[in-house]
A and B are shown apart, each in its own frame.
Chain A
Amino acid sequence: MEEDLLICRCEEVTLKEILEAIKEGVRTVDEIKRRTRAGMGLCQGKTCFRLIARILAEQTGQPIEEVLPPTSRPPVRPVALGILASTEEEEGSDVP
């Protein structure tokens, strides 16, 4: 595989950076995220977490379930702060 291959497109993290982190001894997708920012961007790891989990599993011999992050954080998709701050308005805005 090419080492400059982009694994996390939002944060532009390459395969090389992921492999370096694994070489340093990280064992989970969460640790890779904290070290490289992979999965911290707009899509919040929806694309790259599975890829990273596979790379980790291959490199370390762990089962995929053990390397995946335990939690996914709210919100599920980006939401305007103005809406987060006023739940009532959001509900009200559906009414014509």
Chain B
Amino acid sequence: MFPDVVIIGGGIIGCSCAYYLSREGVKVHLVEKGPLGSGASKAGEGHICLWEQPEINLRLEKASRILYDTLSNELPLDIEYKRTGSVAIAESPADLRSLEQTVRLLQAEGLSCQLLNRDEIAELEPNLARDIAGGALFPEDAKVQPMLATIALAQAAKKNGAVIQTFTEVTGIELSTSKAVVAVNTTAGRIPTKAVVCAAGVWSGAIGKMVGLDIPVIPRKGHIVVTEPVPNNVINHKIILEAGYMQTLGAEGGVAIAANIQQDHLHGEILLGSTREFAGFDCSVNPDVIEAMVARNIRFLPCLAGIHAIRAYAGLRPYTPDLLPIISEVDTVEGFYVATGHEGIGITMGPITGKLISQLITGQKPDLPLKQLSLSRFNQT
């Protein structure tokens, strides 16, 4: 009668947890304060990226991409998944040298990728600016429509018997005297349960506080500009990023900007990013930031200048201080699990996160070692 697990958060992470748990026969009740995918899941570009470091990130990404290969057939909706590959641009010889290291590391992990000199990148992407040092091709990368993936995972979970309850906010979590989860209180009533998954993205800190935990996730704002649909040959690989993108991950103050050009392979519009800044929960669009971001993209793809923007928006990524997600059980609160803090790679890592959480809860051996991703890593000073 009561659910085995209550999942807090209906983004890509929560819906993926709901899907993989319900597939194991676990009775799931997902609670989401708004509509599905209304946090970071709705704000990204849908790049399934397989070149993030350190090694644990790469392994999560690789495992998740493999899950997407089969998920796209398992799910009840077309999630517009495609192995498009991606191209990285090295502006300077120094960028090219650091990209070479990434390429070597990925090759050592068994991923196919290739360093490109100036002529080779021009041949792959003739519309790119010519004054760049080179780049790299990552053929394993893919694209997915993040909202459809989120909704499809929720629908599939529902078919497996999960309850998906939107527009319902969690107001508190009841613990027993021995600090075990007893129930979740919501704006729509009390749900008795023995287990909770916090998949609340940028709002995870508030959920953690309800059980006396410090979940160090803070919002990291990013802007996106969407263009009118353009022909497919403007860019051949649907994802083009400047290699410096990876450096913006570690930026601390101000607004870090890196060119990130991604075309929807079915509908033709281009999404331009990317920015990173700490601005609390503010999602307003800053015209100065848009100006600089668009200029950075035009610097690498000059023909963008004549293409029209139809929309600009900003969203929030769930950032953790060490740029690793938290996929974890919690020693001090029995039945409390954490699946959050994926920053800009939640869409990439959604499926593997859901599968790992399902393995933790059902007592199976996780596909990957989770020590580096534990919540307790933040308390060890």
| A residues neighboring B (CB under 8 Å) | 11, 24-28, 30-31, 34-35, 37, 40-42, 44, 73-75, 78-82, 84-87
A34 engages B147 (CB within 8 Å): yes
B89-97, B126-134, B188-196, B287-295: which lies at the interface = B287-295
- Known contacts A79-B309, A80-B306, A81-B308; is-contact A86 B147 (Cβ 8 Å): no
Instruction: Tell me which residues across on chain B come within 8 A of A34, comparing CB atoms.
Output: 35, 37, 42, 147, 151
Q: In the complex, A74→B312 CA distance in Å?
A: 6
Residue from A27, A40, A85 with most neighbouring chain B CB atoms (10 Å): A85
Task: Decide if A82 touches B306 in the complex (CB within 8 Å).
Answer: yes
The reply to whether A82 and B298 contact each other, CB–CB distance below 8 Å, is yes
Contact: B267 with A37, CB < 8 Å?
yes
Closest to A34 in B: B147
Please judge, given known A-B contacts A35-B147, A84-B225, A85-B305, whether A74 and B167 are in contact too, CB under 8 Å: no
Interface string of B198-226 (1 = CB under 8 A from A): 00000000000000000000000000010
Chain A positions within 8 Å of B285 at CB level = 73-74
With contact pairs A35-B151, A42-B228, A42-B310 given, residues A81 and B304 touching in the complex (Cβ less than 8 Å): yes
CB pair A78 B267 closer than 8 Å: no
Q: Are A85 and B151 closer than 8 Å at their CB atoms?
A: no
Complex-state Cα separation, A69 to B155, whole angstroms: 23
Answer whether residue B281 sits at the interface, using C-beta atoms and an 8 A cutoff.
no
Q: Which chain B residues (309-352) contact chain A, with CB distance < 8 Å?
A: 309-313
Complex contact A86–B155 (CB within 8 A): no
What is the CA–CA distance of A40 and B313 in the complex, to the nearest angstrom? Answer: 13
Residues of B within 8 A of A (CB): 35-37, 42, 147-148, 151, 155, 166-167, 225, 227-228, 267, 272, 285, 287, 290-291, 294-295, 297-298, 304-313
How far, in angstroms, from A11 to B309 measured CA to CA in the complex? 16
| 19 sample A-B contacts, Cβ–Cβ < 8 Å, listed by A number | A26-B35, A28-B35, A31-B36, A34-B42, A34-B147, A34-B151, A35-B148, A40-B311, A42-B228, A44-B310, A73-B285, A73-B311, A75-B309, A78-B308, A81-B225, A81-B308, A82-B305, A84-B290, A85-B291
Cα–Cα distance between A11 and B103 once the two chains are bound (Å): 39
**Chain A residues near B36 (CB, 8 Å)?**
31
Q: Complex formed: what's the CA distance from A35 to B80 in Å? A: 12
Q: In whole angstroms, how far apart are the Cα atoms of A30 and B43 in the complex? A: 13
For B155, list chain A residues within 8 Å (CB): 24
Instruction: Decide: B295 and A86 in contact? CB cutoff 8 A.
Output: yes
Q: Nearest chain A CB to B181's CB is how many angstroms away? A: 27
- Name the CB-closest residue of A to B313: A73
> 8 tightest CB-CB pairs across the interface, nearest first?
A82-B305, A78-B308, A85-B295, A85-B294, A34-B147, A31-B35, A73-B311, A84-B294
Q: A27 to chain B: closest CB distance in Å?
A: 7
Minimum Cβ distance to chain A for residue B281 (Å): 15
Rounded to whole angstroms, the CA-CA distance of A82 and B173 in the bound complex is: 51
Chain A residues with CB under 8 A of B308: 78-81
Whole-angstrom distance between the alpha carbons of A79 and B228 in the complex? 10
A80 to B305, Cβ gap below 8 A? yes
Chain A residues closer than 8 Å to B312, beta-carbon distance: 73-75
Cβ contacts under 8 Å, B295 to chain A: 85-86
Interface centre among B35, B42, B225, B307 (most CB of A within 10 A): B35
Q: A27-B35, A35-B151, A84-B294 are in contact. Are A78 and B304 (CB under 8 A)?
A: no
Most chain B CB inside 10 Å of its own CB: which residue of A74, A79, A84, A86: A84
Contact status A78-B309, CB under 8 Å: yes
Cα A42 to Cα B227 in complex, Å, equals 9
**Residue in A27, A31, A35, A87 whose beta carbon sits within 8 Å of that of B291 in the complex:** A87
B167 engages A27 (CB within 8 Å)? yes
A86 near B291 with CB under 8 A, answer: yes
With A35-B147, A87-B287 given, name 20 new contacts (CB 8 A): A31-B36, A34-B147, A35-B148, A41-B310, A42-B228, A42-B310, A44-B310, A73-B311, A73-B312, A75-B309, A78-B308, A80-B306, A81-B298, A81-B306, A82-B305, A84-B225, A84-B290, A84-B291, A84-B309, A85-B294
